[in-house]
Structure 1
Amino acid sequence: KYFDSQLSWHTIRWVDNMAHRLGSCTSGGATDGDIRISDRIRPWPAYVIDYIVAHELAHRKYPNHSPEFWEYLSRYPQTERARGFIEGVAYAQGMDPDSLI
């Protein structure tokens, strides 16, 4: 929706084995395009979950957190709000928010 149908993925699923990260996306091989979202965030607001999915989808085009990646991800209209939520959660847990995503 936000990326003009430019991105593809294989699966998006909840997983229960992510201790710290909120999501991940594979690139290459048999699992290419598998996006996994930590089930720890199920109770979080939908706009934050959508942001995590958008973040992982953006990695399909930009594998690292380059300036181009962040510009591309900003197409998701709730980016700043979602990042603020994640930063608040990270602060409350004594964690670096950048280590979560």
Structure 2
Amino acid sequence: MPSPQIDIHHVAKLARLALTEEEAAHYQQQLTRILGHIDQLSSYTLDAEPSAHAMPIFDVIRPDQDRPGFEQNEALSNAPRRAMDQFQIPKVIE
């Protein structure tokens, strides 16, 4: 599938670039080659299924199991300050 012809002066205007005719011809060739490569790459992906990842991803999780947690005194044992059996923290909002 051939690449469409690019209006390099329109692209330069959108990018607010002032190009000489020599620069425009040079960039025209480069953009045409780039779009040719993109067309070639897109021909490889025509039959590919869309996916978010290259490899399938599965959640690897362990089953939930009950286990003992901290008692209140044990959880508060390292608290620098306590207030009514809770952590006391400095006031954040004035």
Decide: shared fold, TM above 0.5.
Answer: no
- In terms of Rg, which structure is larger? 2
Give the strand-richer structure, 1 or 2: 1
The TM-score with structure 1 as length reference comes to 0.22
The TM-score with structure 2 as length reference comes to 0.23
Which structure has the higher relative contact order (CA within 8 Å, separation 6+)?
Answer: 1
